[in-house]
Amino acid sequence: MATIGYARVSTFGQSLDAQIEALNGCDKIFQEKISGSKRERPALDAALDYVRDGDVLIVTKLDRLARNTAHLLELVEVFETKGVTLQIKNIGIDTGTPTGRLMLTMIGAIATFEREIMLERQAEGIAKAKQDGRYKGRKPTAQAKKTELLELIANGMSKRQAASELGISESSVYRLLDNVAAMSEQCANKT
């Protein structure tokens, strides 16, 4: 039997140190910096491939593993199929027991409900702020720099350099260039 730790934070600016410290003593720890809303998480997938019958997967908090009940239940099914037990440190859940499995399902459902309520309140707040004229949304920084970007690219600057020069992300550069190409193609098809 091996104990496998899984640690995750959502952004590169966040630190995994507290989780790694809490998972100290595990035989192996998988860690990553990626949003929990993403289904494709390389370190989680690697941990799922790694665990074997009799192993214990340990996480510090439930939301480090799954963001909604459906995904949590999918993971629990994988663990059960592989004969792996899940332990969640901060709430003392151990799926090696029937009570632990029941509690995990209930807590997962409550967590999903809380997240949906929070998102609903956020949407209501934004709608109210828009109605009152107080919410304009985020300024389209990359879109506003489209002309400058096209000039830099036309003058031979690399996409990476242009992104750095304009203070926008490389993905924004590619997205803008793709949009320009698509618009050019639509114009060409109309003629």
Query: Taking the CB of residue 38, how many other CB atoms lie within 10 A of it?
Result: 12
- Would you say 153 and 162 are in contact if contact means Cβ atoms under 8 Å apart? yes
Mean pLDDT of the 128-152 span: 83
Q: What is the mean pLDDT of the chain?
A: 88
Q: Which two tokens stand for residue 6?
A: 């899984």
> pLDDT of 50-85, one tens digit each?
999 999 999 999 889 987 777 888 888 899 999 999
Query: Can you tell me the mean pLDDT for 132-156?
Result: 83
Integer angstrom CA distances of residue 148 from 14, 159, 187: 33, 12, 22
Residue 164 β-bridge partners: none
Q: Give the architecture-level CATH label for domain 3-112.
A: 3-Layer(aba) Sandwich (3.40)
The letter for the amino acid at 24 is: N
Q: Comparing C-alpha atoms, which of 90, 147, 145, 106 is closest to residue 98?
A: 106
pLDDT at 191 > cutoff 70: no
Where are the chain's structural domains?
A: 3-112, 141-190
- Report pLDDT for 140: 67
Would the pLDDT of 2 be above 90?
yes
**HSE-up of residue 131 (Cα within 13 Å, Cβ side):** 6
* Tokens representing residue 157 in the block: 């600057």
10 noted as active-site residue: yes
Report pLDDT for 183.
80
147-182 confidence digits (pLDDT tens): 888 888 888 989 899 888 888 888 888 888 888 888
Secondary structure letter of residue 11 according to DSSP: S
Helices H / strands E in the chain, number of each:
8, 5
Among 94, 91, 20, smallest CA distance to 56 is for 94
- Active-site entry in 10, 37, 171, 184: 10
pTM of the model: 0.60
